[in-house]
Every structure is written in structure tokens, then in C-alpha cells.
Amino acid sequence: MEQLTSSQLREKWKSFWMSKNHAYLPEASLIADKESTALFNVAGMQQLIPYLAGKEHPLGHRLFNIQKCVRTVDIDEVGDTFHLTFFDMMGNWSLWEYFKEEAIQWSYEFLVNELWFDSRKLAVTVFEGNSDAPRDEVAAAAWQKAGIPAERISFLPEKHNWWSPGPVWPCGPDTEIFYWVWNSEFPPEGSNVKDDEDNWMEIWNNVFMEFYRDEKWVFTKLSQHNVDTGMWFERMCRVLQNKASIYETDLFAPFISLLEKTTNLSYTWNERKFRIVADHLRTVFMLINDWLTPSNVGAGYVLRMIIRRCYYNLLLLRKLNESELSSFVNDSFISFKWLRDFDEERIKKVLLNEISQFEKTIHKWEWILEDLLKNSKKLSWEQIFMLYDTYGFPLEITKEIAAERGVELDLEWYQKALEDAKEKSRQSTKAMFQKSADWSKYLEGIPATEFVWYDNLNFEWSKLLKEIEADDGQRVLIFDKTPFYPEMWWQNWDKWEIILDDGRCVHIINVQKVAWVILHFVG
Ligand code: SER
């Protein structure tokens, strides 16, 4: 395989799809529009949702682009060799045009003929089937025809090979393409993703979107079939440049050198912290560039958390004084210059202002920890959970502080509690949607909830339209306007408090959209 720079990869992507008569789809903003239930642009297909459902696209039926995306679902994994919160996604789409055979054939052709991938290092997964859709023999046969042997094709369940941008929306089975990343040159005979997942890295996903799940969890076949693909640009650069992680590619190398120079520390001994600062700072630049500001709600809240985590990890490497910090931010712009045109002055102002506010919070945290550790050198999982849930301490920060002070953490139970909480939230989202036929009986005569874009969670301007006590005792409030986004699978709400006109204080534990109405579940 030839080594390619990141800009050569971009060029190859463009010329390949243009040669297949695809039109270039202009990139969407990272900040999802106000009607959307997502906080960020999480995939190339997000702007195409109405067109995947049948609306005629002005650019035609074959499209491609490179789309900036932010996903925070794996934020705790950032620091390893390939997870990122901001990434560029290369995508091609067929809207009621070509389908599985052609999409698979072209994916193979791009990898093997254009990028000179060794096909012996490729493996794929396809959908094994369930009661909604059949086992994807068509995709498996297309892969074999293209050149992937049967032993490298794994049939996997919905959890792995079904893709949807959220609980409601177009969806379908997918086929994922993996590259061999273990240190032996070639995978051993018989190795495939199903049995040897850790040694294969996913590089490209082809989704065959031909279904739609609506607010009532009703599943229907779309009037047209579509192909929606997404390839992680950074992961491809890692493979093409033959690096052990994406942070060693030409995308991050200038920033990593800058951080070494600024902190006077070596990347090799501080990989995880360097990577977190690098990933998070890039995401922060991109989000503020797209006009997001830190706040206590929705996307702004996520931005605030990313800035905090970034700054805290920088602090653990070295405390910079005001002027050092200011020139570090300037130099960071230069090291990421290739990424996009940054509005540098504005980004810097927003970022440094947020950091100075965060400095005050750090003092408060230290004080809280001091108190918890008065009588013990160990934090129980309940205390760690409370630090996270009530005071917003990212686990990472608790870990770093604990390591510095020789405090023991009961992490095994903490992880379990967190997984349980996540699973419960996933299940309850699903159950709630399944029950939404029941919710609709409460919604008669209620107008569509207006979503408002406040900087604070302020309900002063909202009118409580209805208070429901459901059959299972769950209380739900409906307002005419709300600053809350409905929950998505990858963006769970923290708990929020609101004071109602009659003086009652309620905690919002979940926010869901059913039909046109936003429901606030209170605890
Ligand atoms: N939408 C799919 C994904 O994000 C394919 O692009 O993985």
C-alpha cells in the first residue's frame, strides 16, 4: 500500500466519486438546526434525512462529500489509538438509485484499486437478520463477488449491523469494512471480526436504508431504497500512513510537537493526556467556529464539558500562565491550520473566558474532595458516582486527582453502576417509545411545542400547558416552549431542576418527543 497524506486522500475521494457521476454535497454546520432532535451533526447523512425518506434532492440521486461531525458517545474512550469526538466523515449516497451490489463493488474498488489496500487485510460484517429484516445474503454474496473470501465475512446481530441516527428515523442493515491492525503482517487463516474483534479496526460503513421507524415505534419499509456510507477520514489516514494511532498521522503530528514544546514533556510518556488535549481542543475550535458558545444547556453544555476536560488534562501536564496560555492557543490554530478557516479572535476569546470561569470551579472541587477524604483514603463507587452526577466531575478528573494524592477508587463497581445506568436509560427510551401510542391519548388538543434556544435553562417564558400522571405513576409536564432537546441515545440528559409558577421545584429526568410534543419526565 502506498503511503498517502491526508490531503491526497481527500483528493482521491473526490475524484473517485466524481468519476462515478456523484455530485458534491456541501457540508452542513456542526450545530444541528433547531428543529432537529440531535445536538450536533453526528453523521454525513443527517442533512439528508428528508431525502432518504423520499423527497427529491436538488443535486440528484448520487451524492458524496466530506462532512465534519461531532459524537460524544465515546468520549471516555478518547486517549486510546483511534477514538475522537470530532472527525471528518467521507460519505457517498444513493437516493433511490444503486443499491447493495454496486455500493459494495465500489467500496472494494476504492480501497483496493485507488488506495492499494491489500485485500488479504480486509474483513467485513453483514446483518444476520431478525424479525424485521432478513439475513443479508445479498450483501455477503456481493462481497464474495468483489473479492472477499467467505471466511472473512461475519454475520452479526442488530447490535452491530443495524444503523440508525436515533430511535426515530430512517434505518437499515449495514455492512462494515474492517482493516487488520494487529502487529503480524497478515491475519491468520480463519481470522474474522466475529471471533477476533480487537485486531480489526472498522474503517467504513455502508448502510442500506430502506426502513423507517416513527415516533410510535412503528416500523415500515420506505418507498425507496438508499445507500448511506461513512468512512472515518482520520482512521483511514492512520492506516494509509501506517501509524500506531491517529495522533501520529500528519493530522495531529504538528499539534503533538507543539504540546511537547509547550509542556516540556514527552508524548511517549504522556500519550493519553496528550491525545485528550489534542482531540478535545480540535473539537472545541470547530464547535466555537460554528457559532456555539459554552452554556448550561444542550450542545453548549457539552461544549463546556469538553473545554473543562481539555483544560484539566493540560493542567496535569503543565500549568501555563496567562501569556503562555494565550500563545499556546495561537500556535494551536497554526498547527490545525489545514483543518478549516478558523475565526481565531472570536474562538480564542470564548475559550479563554470559559477557562477562567473553570479555574474557579476547580477550587470548589478540591474543597469537596478534601471534605470527602477527611477520614478515608478511599472513595467508594457511590461517592465517585456522586462527584460525577451531582458536581460534574468527569471520572477522568477524579482519577487524576486520586492518583496524585494516592487515593484508592472503587472503580469496578463504579463502572458497573455507570453501565447499568446507561443500559437503563437505553431501555427506558425504547420502552417509552414503544408506549408512545399510550402517550398520544394525552396529547389531544395540545399544540406543537416550540423549541427555544436559550443560553440558560430558563423557563420564565414558558407556560405549563398540561401535567399528566400516567398509568404507571410517571409524571410528565408539557410546556408551550422549552429549551430542552429531546433525548437521543447517545446524548443523555443530566438532571435539571425547574421552579414552576406555583413555587414547586421539580427535577427533569428525561425529555422525549412524541409526535409534535416535547414531554418532560419529572422525578
Ligand atoms: N450513517 C452511517 C454511519 O454514520 C454511515 O455513514 O456510520
Q: What angle, rounded to 10 degrees, do the helices at 344-372 and 322-335 form?
A: 130
Report, as ranges of residue numbers, the positions in the chain whose pLDDT lies below 50: 453-457, 488-495
**Local structure of residue 31 (DSSP, 8 states):** B
* CA angle (352, 356, 359) in 5-degree steps: 135
Q: What are phi and psi of 423, to 5 degrees?
A: -65, -40
Between the CA of 322 and the centroid of ligand 1 the distance, in Å, is 41
Residue 188's identity, in one-letter code, is P
Between the CA of 103 and the centroid of ligand 1 the distance, in Å, is 14
Q: Is the CB of 230 under 6 A from ligand 1?
A: yes
Per-residue pLDDT at 491: 38
Of 263, 277, 244, the residue nearest 396 (C-alpha) = 277
Between the CA of 157 and the centroid of ligand 1 the distance, in Å, is 17
The protein residue with its alpha carbon nearest to ligand 1, atom 3, reads 230
Tens of pLDDT, residue by residue over 122-155, are 999 999 999 889 999 999 999 999 999 999 999 9
Dist CA 382 CA 379 (whole Å): 8
Residue from 74, 228, 232 to probe ligand 1 pocket by mutation (most atoms less than 8 Å from CB):
228
Nearest-atom index, ligand 1, CA of 163? 2
Per-residue pLDDT at 509: 73
Q: Is the CB of 41 under 6 A from ligand 1?
A: no
Total-model pTM: 0.77
Using left for φ > 0, alpha for ψ between -120 and 50, and beta otherwise, residue 408 falls in beta
Per-residue pLDDT at 74: 78
Torsion over CA: 192, 194, 198, 204 (sign) = positive
Q: Is the CB of 192 under 6 A from ligand 1?
A: no
Per-residue pLDDT at 494: 46
Grid coordinates of 389: 452526577
The protein residue with its alpha carbon nearest to ligand 1, atom 2, reads 230
Grid coordinates of 383: 461517592
Between the CA of 360 and the centroid of ligand 1 the distance, in Å, is 40
DSSP-based three-state secondary structure for 274:
helix
Per-residue pLDDT at 437: 52
Nearest-atom index, ligand 1, CA of 91? 6
Of 171, 170, 179, 174, the residue nearest 161 (C-alpha) = 174
Check if the beta carbon of residue 90 is closer than 8 Å to that of residue 230: yes
Q: Is the CB of 163 under 6 A from ligand 1?
A: yes
Tens of pLDDT, residue by residue over 152-199, are 999 999 989 999 876 667 899 999 999 998 878 899 999 999 998 889
Between the CA of 396 and the centroid of ligand 1 the distance, in Å, is 28
